[in-house]
Amino acid sequence: MRFDVSISNEQIEQELADMQARMARGRHALGNLPLMQMQFPDMEFRVRKIAREQRVYAIDTRTGLLVGYSVFDILPEGSRRLHSTVRSVHSRYAAPYQGRGIASALYTKVLSDGFVLVSGARQSRAAYALWKSLGRRMRFDVVKITPETIEPLKISERDNRFHDLDVRLQLCAP
């Protein structure tokens, strides 16, 4: 687990604007994607399944703007038997929408639907803070990813092994 991801808010907002422009028309237009059944004030969530992943787009219903997204992908390192229940996740949200609980609510919804979430090998400090916050309400573990299993590790952030790239965070519904 490494904390070396740093993307500026300007880069995120440009990526979101470009994505919304690309998804303005056609069969993958944001407005044509199925709604996710999730309540969050002034937000709607649209879902697109692409091969092994599910993308959830957050749209501000007051402005119609795409304000963020989360990608839930099968765990590429894990065995096929993990593919139906374990998802690796990453998210990006525009600065004015960060810290509002949108990603927390979405992750909680996915966990309540029976999935297990595993972090990426590299995160930002803000993403780590989100995971730790969720870990106060959910089952939160530090795990090692092997080709066949997810093994719990009894280590803390201060342990040198914590920074190995095969070490991740895992969240499960309580």
User: Torsion angle, CA of 60/62/64/70, rounded to 10 degrees?
Assistant: 0
Beta 139-145 vs 167-172: how paired, if at all? antiparallel
Q: Is the pLDDT of residue 126 over 80?
A: yes
Q: Is the pLDDT of residue 40 over 90?
A: yes
Predicted local distance difference test score (pLDDT) of residue 146: 82
Binned at pLDDT 50, 70 and 90, residue 26 comes out as confident
Alpha carbons 13 and 18: distance in angstroms, whole number: 9
Average pLDDT over residues 16-24: 92
What are the chain's domains?
9-172 (3.40.630)
Average pLDDT over residues 117-127: 87
Mean pLDDT for all residues in the chain: 89
Predicted local distance difference test score (pLDDT) of residue 82: 65
Query: Over the stretch 68-99, which tens digit does the pLDDT of each residue have?
Result: 999 998 876 655 666 667 788 889 999 999 99
